[in-house]
Amino acid sequence: MDSAGNLYVGNWFASTIQKFTPSGVHSGFATNNISGPASLAFDPAGNLCVANYWGGTVVKLAPDGTGWIFASGMSYPNGVACDHAGNVYVACAGSSTIQKFTPSGVGSVFVSGLSSPLLGGLACDSAGNLYAECQQNQPIIEKFTPNGVGSVFVSNGYAEPSGLVFDSSGNLWAANYGDNTIEEFAPNGSLLLHINTPYSPYGIAVQQVPEPVSVTLVFLGTAIFLMRYCTVFR
């Protein structure tokens, strides 16, 4: 979601990006240089970063939809996240690495040797820590400091989290493809909310406004499902 509450969805098979207004009106946003869009994230300048799984690239799209190739040569990028400094992190399923790109596009290996497959979910907190969904002996969410030191943030059993996002309160939301649930975690990793959902949630977005929190879930089918939660519900 952008700052105005518009929702952007990557269409894997059509290789397009669609935009939905807060009232649900949708339109085509981008097609050029899009090849298997697996993950989307906004940078601090308001550009939409797209991880192209089949193209091995990250494309940036300006608010008017014009785009350019920001990074290339990656092995099946399936996750992207941006920190407040404008650095772009990319999860590469083919190489089991997370790549880091400076705002000017200079790239380096941020983390290597991760268990494959990387599930693609990446998110940065306000302190610049990176959270990644990985498949070890069982699915986990790992936390990496800005200098790449990693630790297990939470172990999700067989949940297979495939989407991560932070809300304005600093809590982490996870879309769990494996067991059809949505979970919310406090900054210390404690579980705040566990919700059963229909189908298999694969992507998640949160409108960055005060409570109530609007959570948008994107499933592997065509459904987009909006849920609203407030403090009293918790």
In tens digits, what is the pLDDT along the chain, a chain of 234 residues? 998 889 999 998 999 999 999 888 989 999 999 999 999 999 999 999 999 999 999 999 999 999 999 999 999 999 999 999 999 999 999 999 999 999 999 999 999 988 665 778 899 999 999 999 887 666 789 999 999 999 999 986 657 777 899 998 899 999 888 888 889 999 999 999 998 887 788 888 887 655 555 566 555 444 444 544 433 222
- Position 228 scores a pLDDT of 46
In this structure, is residue 234 part of a structural domain?
Answer: no
Alpha-carbon span 217 to 28, nearest angstrom: 20
Those residues whose C-beta lies under 8 Å from the C-beta of residue 23, and which sit 6 or more positions away, are none
- Position 206 scores a pLDDT of 83
In this structure, is residue 2 part of a structural domain?
Answer: no
C-alpha R_g of the chain: 16
In this structure, is residue 153 part of a structural domain?
Answer: yes
Cβ-count burial 69-99 (b if 16+ within 10 Å, e if not): ebbeebebbbbbbbbeeebbbbbbbebbbbb
- Position 222 scores a pLDDT of 42
Those residues whose C-beta lies under 8 Å from the C-beta of residue 24, and which sit 6 or more positions away, are none
Reduced to 3 states (helix: H, G, I; strand: E, B; else coil), residue 105 is coil
Alpha-carbon span 145 to 141, nearest angstrom: 13
In this structure, is residue 73 part of a structural domain?
Answer: yes
Tell me, what CATH number does 171's domain have? 2.120.10.30
End-to-end Cα spacing for the chain:
23
Report how many domains make up the chain: 1
Residue ranges making up the domain that contains 188? 7-229
In this structure, is residue 220 part of a structural domain?
Answer: yes
In this structure, is residue 163 part of a structural domain?
Answer: yes
In this structure, is residue 122 part of a structural domain?
Answer: yes
In this structure, is residue 42 part of a structural domain?
Answer: yes
